[in-house]
Structure 1
């Protein structure tokens, strides 16, 4: 009897795993649940750990090591004058998060920008690493026009997003620290490269973690008028502030300065160019407006590296191992209930599943809060959701159909 019980548990677990694979394949390929798209759109861009960032995160201290400078809609000549104004106060590094692809008809403006960039002692300019679908590799790097880059170090600004083409939804929770291109060159992310000028040892330690993706431990935003819970966590200078010298040199000296687009003016919530959704978004279900410009995301990466405040996460094999163990334990308990308390099976299993759902969500948020660990328990949640009814199918249909008595009972017609 004991051996038969464990045999049923093992076979039941295998059946549920097969059922999960089948259901997952059908749902993704056949799109049979498209009728629920309005609900899916509201929740599809959400992760439970977003609750931690948007609702539970303690108010972080503002980072004084990073200064944002908004280039707005300035011409190249205007940007050149802004760079000259800032660079005279000896920043640790100036990063330019903007592309200058070709010379313009305004030759004087181009010459002014080239001259201003050539005088910056430590300069980093963004690139974009291009992925070739046909060769399945990163085979080239897009840069600004060589006139503007000869005095700079390159660093890619690619951000990892769950981009939805139809909704133009760009949710940024993580980024790639480094990419090796087809020619063997190792490309470094913009935020990591900027960090190396403040503390090269910390930047190298971060890279040595060897993670293909790193979850961003967000600190906050610039002035955003309530778009996120934590605005004003970085000094930000608008175009007028720079031209009017409306700042003290001390906020620039020895700091990371990022020139980037922050809207037509600081606090501009109407312009969505280079703007992303982040977990700090105050509305974390059914988001309406993106909350953070790309340059500020890079600033958050710098803060995370300098404070060594990393987020840990499970590798894929660990996710599946946790899910398998949880599923096996569920099947073991549910099998005992099915055999010993058959009349109570549905009620007891549904109560257990509800408790597990609430408990797992709490555990995910708790681990993020206490241990800075992002637990992706999607596989385990799916296993919990399907295990109760799936096991009932296994015992009531699969197992009975394989026994002579079960088949005989199925085709036996008795009077009411």
Structure 2
């Protein structure tokens, strides 16, 4: 009897895993998408978003990074901004924008090139293009050589999961380095962080991870456009021109030029804007909350603070999910045989308690230890175990017994 019980639980586990595989394949081919508007609304949410947007205390302001909004200035205007900021002796200037072609305004191009030539440490963005089967890129777009000759390059690409421009762009992770045309290229955040602290940046790279989770700290002051903590100091283009800043604010700092709207707080600007875990609107992601330049600033802060996020290996998560599933199968099988009248109520109660506990445990571990565990499959296994086991005992197992088949035959005769 004891041996039969454990064989039953193993067969039930195999059945549930096969059932789960069939269901996941159906979802992979989007068979049920038309019936799943709620799932679509939550598709871009992760449980850890709650930690970033609700549970964590607001961090202190970042003192090593200053962000400058270029607005809609032309190249002459950007050149003037660079000249003013450069005079305050920043440690490094990063330009989160492209200058791929020369403009009809030749004087503006020359002025910008001259401004770049006066910057001691300058990084211009590149763009990874044409991904190939070798998990690298066949092309690297850079600014025109007139500007590029005075700078290092570093790519600004983020990992968003968006297939085209109309898709929601959710940025949780980034790649520290990639290969383009066979050459190693670093991300803009890595290059700028290296100028601020080479040792910490090399320590970060020594983690040797292809993809890193961004440990977000906060946003800029944007006149109430978002509810994220105000962590980064941003200067608007007109404030720079009017001298509304202390040069000591710039000296020896990382200054990042980027687009933050026509002016700070511009809620109509959607260019280079992303959804992040700091977004308080989980379902549907109402409005993008962070510009690309601010995301780079968050990554730099993470590196300089050595405050990284680690993740549990996918294989370990899968093993834990299967072990939990089997333990639940064994427990529910015992209840099915010993307390059949209590089966539905007890299993549902146990499932709810387990699912809530797993969800809460994942949040606590992430919040306290910066360690990310994806409990999705664990929770899913717990939630389907009870009903799937009932199907196994009530349908599958009966199909392989004479008594079960005889009952079906008798039903057909009726």
- TM-score normalised to structure 1 length: 0.95
CA distance in 2 between partners of 1:81 and 1:413 (Å): 88
Question: Is residue 95 from structure 1 mapped to residue 113 from structure 2 by the alignment?
Answer: no
Corresponding residue for residue 199 of structure 1: 197
Corresponding residue for residue 290 of structure 2: 292
- Residues 90 and 414 (structure 1 numbering): CA distance in 2 closer, same or farther, change over 3 Å? closer
Choose 94-103 or 345-354, whichever is displaced more. Answer: 345-354
Corresponding residue for residue 268 of structure 1: 266
CA distance in 1 between partners of 2:132 and 2:384 (Å): 36
Residue number among 375, 378, 381 corresponding to 2:379 in the alignment: 381
Choose 388-397 or 290-299, whichever is displaced more. Answer: 388-397
Corresponding residue for residue 41 of structure 1: 40
TM-superposed CA distance for 1:413, in Å, is: 4.2
Q: Deviations over 1:350-373 (max 9, x none)?
A: 111111221122112111111111
Matches within 5 A, 1:237-316: 237-316=235-314
CA distance in 2 between partners of 1:414 and 1:120 (Å): 87
CA distance in 2 between partners of 1:104 and 1:30 (Å): 46
Matches within 5 A, 1:42-191: 42-132=41-131, 137-163=136-162, 165=164, 168-183=167-182, 185-191=183-189
Corresponding residue for residue 23 of structure 1: 23
- Residues 111 and 413 (structure 1 numbering): CA distance in 2 closer, same or farther, change over 3 Å? closer
SS in structure 2 of the partner of residue 393 of structure 1: helix
SS in structure 2 of the partner of residue 154 of structure 1: strand
- Residues 190 and 166 (structure 1 numbering): CA distance in 2 closer, same or farther, change over 3 Å? closer
CA distance in 2 between partners of 1:129 and 1:153 (Å): 15
TM-superposed CA distance for 1:157, in Å, is: 0.6
Conserved 8 A contact 1:327-1:380: yes
Conserved 8 A contact 1:224-1:231: no
TM-superposed CA distance for 1:166, in Å, is: 8.3
What are the ranges of 5 or more consecutive residues in structure 1 without an aligned counterpart? none
SS in structure 2 of the partner of residue 236 of structure 1: strand
Q: Deviations over 1:334-393 (max 9, x none)?
A: 111111112221111111111122112211211111111122112112212221111111
Conserved 8 A contact 1:15-1:394: yes
Corresponding residue for residue 345 of structure 1: 343
CA distance in 2 between partners of 1:98 and 1:309 (Å): 27
TM-superposed CA distance for 1:43, in Å, is: 1.5
- Residues 167 and 112 (structure 1 numbering): CA distance in 2 closer, same or farther, change over 3 Å? closer
CA distance in 2 between partners of 1:414 and 1:67 (Å): 78
CA distance in 2 between partners of 1:389 and 1:221 (Å): 45
Conserved 8 A contact 1:177-1:214: yes
Conserved 8 A contact 1:77-1:112: yes
CA distance in 2 between partners of 1:133 and 1:40 (Å): 31
CA distance in 1 between partners of 2:280 and 2:380 (Å): 27
CA distance in 1 between partners of 2:163 and 2:56 (Å): 27
- Residues 227 and 328 (structure 1 numbering): CA distance in 2 closer, same or farther, change over 3 Å? farther
TM-superposed CA distance for 1:415, in Å, is: 11
Corresponding residue for residue 4 of structure 2: 4
Q: Deviations over 1:47-91 (max 9, x none)?
A: 111111111110100001000000100010110111011111111
Conserved 8 A contact 1:196-1:203: yes
